[in-house]
């Protein structure tokens, strides 16, 4: 059974990722910052580990096959502390633990933060630093860059391409579905892609990444 370690497992997107992975039969371990979140993970069928990317967090990583980073500062947190330094610590620990696969939830706009609203620029710049470290880490990586996240029910249909020439939204459910698909589809290895709501089933959209063109 494949073991997946999810950082940020108590977040709005992280909870959905954990749920989909458990439903698909993965052995899921989740990193959370508060003790009461451990019960939530256990109820979802996952094993919880208490920790923080700025401190101790590696116990649950031992023997894992995949790391998924769904941790983020959000619009009210410190992006340099979480989205850059914390994520890089997770990448480095993955290398030390010889975990071969890393999936990072990032954000659209990281490659051109100046084109985005000014309040987002520090977050996008921090995320881009972490993306660069991951790309150079030697790990088999997938970087998913969703648009504006919503809590609407997932439709199971998206647009995915290395660079989408438009902005938009995507549900957290469909981001979680993309994470699950990325673990099963070889075309996502060493790939970075934008993700928006669309009209192509998630698996089909990801399988088409190698031959995709910007839209």
Taking only the tens place, the pLDDT of each residue in 141-166 is: 999 999 999 999 999 999 999 999 88
Per the document, the length of the chain is 215
Q: What is the pLDDT of residue 74?
A: 78
pTM for this structure?
0.94
The per-residue pLDDT for range 15-36, each reduced to its tens digit, is: 999 999 999 999 999 999 999 9
Written as six digits, the tokens of 169 are: 């939204």
Catalytic center residues? 107
Confidence at 76, pLDDT banded by 50, 70, 90: low
Buried/exposed 72-105: b ≥16 CB within 10 Å, e otherwise: bbeeeebbeebbbbbbbbbbebbeeeebebbbbb
* pLDDT value at residue 211: 47
Angle, helices 87-96 vs 121-135, to 10°: value is 10
Burial (0-12, 13-18, 19+ Cβ within 10 Å), 34: exposed
Are the C-beta atoms of residues 48 and 37 closer than 8 Å to each other? yes
Residue pointed to by tokens 């071969």:
100
């Amino acid at each position: 059974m494949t073991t997946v370690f999810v950082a940020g497992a108590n977040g709005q997107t992280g909870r959905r990722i954990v749920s989909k992975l458990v439903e698909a039969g993965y052995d899921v371990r989740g990193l959370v910052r508060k003790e009461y979140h451990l019960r939530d993970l256990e109820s979802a069928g996952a094993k919880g580990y208490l920790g923080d990317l700025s401190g101790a967090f590696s116990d649950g990583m031992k023997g894992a096959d995949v790391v998924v980073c769904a941790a983020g500062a959000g619009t009210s947190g410190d992006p340099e502390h979480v989205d850059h330094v914390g994520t890089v610590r997770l990448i480095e620990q993955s290398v030390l633990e010889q975990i071969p696969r890393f999936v990072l939830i990032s954000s659209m706009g990281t490659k051109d933060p100046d084109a985005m609203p000014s309040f987002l620029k520090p977050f996008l710049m921090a995320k881009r630093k972490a993306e660069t470290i991951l790309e150079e880490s030697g790990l088999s990586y997938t970087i998913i860059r969703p648009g504006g996240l919503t809590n609407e029910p997932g439709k199971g249909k998206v647009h995915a391409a290395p660079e989408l020439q438009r902005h938009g939204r995507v549900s957290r459910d469909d981001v979680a579905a993309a994470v699950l698909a990325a673990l099963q589809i070889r075309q996502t290895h060493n790939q970075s892609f934008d993700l928006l709501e669309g009209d192509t089933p998630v698996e089909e959209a990801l399988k088409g990444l190698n031959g995709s063109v910007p839209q």
